[in-house]
Homo-oligomer: A and B are copies of this chain.
């Protein structure tokens, strides 16, 4: 089996930290990475501050195969992500001819002027590959192992789809969920024993309330579907024996 491919997400924006905007991108990217067999190992959220962005980006890009950033690539003064990425990689940043053409065509279609603010969105670090989106035309980009995307969810989703062609993907992790209509404390010992006997299948326990009653979902995860099915059946049998399933 090949080495796992790992990733991190860096969400950039004061509005997430103030609570004004509730992030919707982390869950979307997490689902997508799981689907294409990339292990998301860490997420960080930082504000619109140059040093914080560069420090987080440098830490993450050195420890993971890929880093996906969201936010901070629009036309306004608080959009500083592209400059921070250029700085982190030690490369120049300038207007990209293809990005400019895409933006100009989009402005023409929409009948809005190509202001100098809008031109800012054509600035990308030297050597980057454009990540396109059909919604706003303003591109994201990939440089080294860093994929820079917009913060608006619909645009981020278009960019995430476009960026996937450039990624090395891995073997997908499959999961089985066992829904238990009783509190987590009831099944903890059986689950712990089953995890100890089957360390190759990762088992998680996720409590929730339904109509005020405590319930739990057990999730088993593995890259080997046959092994996963066998261990999941073993857990169901063990729970059934004790009248818990």
Residues of A within 8 A of B (CB): 11, 13-23, 26-27, 30-34, 39-48, 52, 74-79, 110, 112, 115-118, 120-121, 135-136, 152, 154, 173, 175, 183-186, 188-189, 191-192, 195-196, 202-209, 214, 219, 221
Q: Shortest Cβ distance from A185 into chain B, in angstroms?
A: 4
**What is the interface of chain A mostly: helix, strand, loop, or mixed?**
mixed
Which residues from chain B contact A45 at a C-beta distance below 8 Å? 26, 42-44
CA distance A100 to B173 in the complex (A): 38
Whether A52 contacts B41 by the Cβ 8 Å rule is: yes
Q: A76-B192, A185-B75 are in contact. Are A42 and B46 (CB under 8 A)?
A: yes
Which residues from chain B contact A116 at a C-beta distance below 8 Å? 189
Closest 7 A/B residue pairs (Cβ): A117-B188, A19-B30, A19-B31, A43-B45, A76-B205, A77-B192, A22-B27
Our pick among B173, B184, B186 for the contact of A74 (Cβ within 8 Å) is B184
Q: A173-B18, A185-B115, A207-B152 are in contact. Are A191 and B43 (CB under 8 A)?
A: no
Q: A116-B189, A188-B77 are in contact. Are A40 and B22 (CB under 8 A)?
A: no
CA distance A78 to B40 in the complex (A): 18
Taking CB as reference atom, which chain B residue is nearest A59? Answer: B59
Which residues from chain B contact A115 at a C-beta distance below 8 Å? 185-186, 188-189
Our pick among B22, B79, B110, B152 for the contact of A208 (Cβ within 8 Å) is B152
Our pick among B30, B117, B195 for the contact of A18 (Cβ within 8 Å) is B30
Whether B23 contacts A74 by the Cβ 8 Å rule is: no
Which residues from chain B contact A33 at a C-beta distance below 8 Å? 19
Taking CB as reference atom, which chain B residue is nearest A45? Answer: B43
Whether B75 contacts A188 by the Cβ 8 Å rule is: yes
Whether A219 contacts B74 by the Cβ 8 Å rule is: no
Q: A14-B204, A42-B52, A184-B75 are in contact. Are A214 and B30 (CB under 8 A)?
A: no
